[in-house]
Amino acid sequence: MSVIATKKLGAVGVEVLDVGTDRLLNDPEVPEACMEALEEHGVLLFRGLHADDATQVAFSRRLGEPARFRGYANPEVMEISFDPGNPNAEYFASNDYWHIDGAMDEIPAKASLLSARVTASKGGETEFASTYAAYDTLSDEEKERYADLRVAHTFEAVQRLNYPDPTPKQLAQWAKRPPREHPLVWVHRSGRRSLVFGATASHIVGMPVEEGRALLADVERRATAPDRVLRHSWTEGDMVMWDNRGLVHRACPFDRSEPRRMHRSTLVGDEPIE
């Protein structure tokens, strides 16, 4: 019998049924069982967990190394909100587009854990789609054609989605983040393959820009077709953990004058995209 009981949620993801904060912190077998379930299912939902920051971070430490963020009271917890006091508020608008956390970093995050503290009265769900499944459903001809493609990821590509007419100051600010090149097909250490795309993907290296963008848009459209997507509607206290190596995710729109607030801890990755 598995250490944790799970129930399938949809296209990806399972709900973990029998783990509360006590087992998260103390059960010696739960961390490994969660990482295995994450590899298999992509998303784990702990409904009504009500983990406070200390609990979320302590659990994150049992799973790996929590990333640190500048500007927050607890550096291992990034607060996701549009509160003007939030140091990253202007960038969170881009969470509305399909993305991989840390796609611009040398090594993207391994996993992210997100707890709902204040939910939106309408909208504000989070959606997930498997990038492993995105690869698996390519035709053989596409698998061959995509095998050697490389994609340029830029911060400007993401930001332009929200700020299509940037000021020179914004452009200069965005340019501080160096562009990153990744293969379209990520061959994981496990041997599995996934597709790497999303809001940071600007164009395909060595291909006319418009042609590359059309290809990337087609990949994204197919990977995130409604029947491939898990949409989680949050209730305060829910915690969701996702495998950032094999999924894209996005926030659904809501009234940004509402105080929706999510607390995220992030596990540092150890697998470069190659």
Residues binding ligand OGA (CB under 6 A): 80, 95, 101, 112, 114, 126, 249, 251, 262, 264
How far is CA 56 from each of CA 24, 201, 235, rounded to the nearest angstrom?
Answer: 9, 31, 17
Minimum distance, C-beta of residue 44 to ligand OGA, in the bound complex (Å): 15
**Shortest spacing between CB 203 and ligand OGA, in angstroms:** 23
- The Cα–Cα gap between 162 and 253 comes to 13
* 71 vs 208, beta carbon nearer ligand OGA: 71
Question: Are the C-beta atoms of residues 201 and 221 closer than 8 Å to each other?
Answer: no
What type of residue sits at position 182?
H
Q: Which does 15 bind (CB under 5 to 8 A by kind): ligand OGA, Mn ion, none?
A: none
Q: How far is the CB of 264 from Mn ion (least distance, A)?
A: 8
Closest to ligand OGA by CB, 206 vs 253, is 253
Nearest approach in angstroms of CB 269 to Mn ion is 14
Asked whether position 101 contacts Mn ion by CB under 5 A, the answer is: yes
Q: Strand order in 6-8's β-sheet? A: 6-8, 14-16, 43-46, 239-243, 111-118, 261-267, 78-80
Structure tokens at 236: 């305060």
Segment interacting with Mn ion (CB under 5 A) among 34-42, 45-53, 101-109, 157-165? 101-109
Separation of alpha carbons 264 and 80, rounded Å: 7
Does the footprint of Mn ion cover residue 243 (CB under 5 A)?
Answer: no
Per CB under 5 A, residues contacting Mn ion are: 101
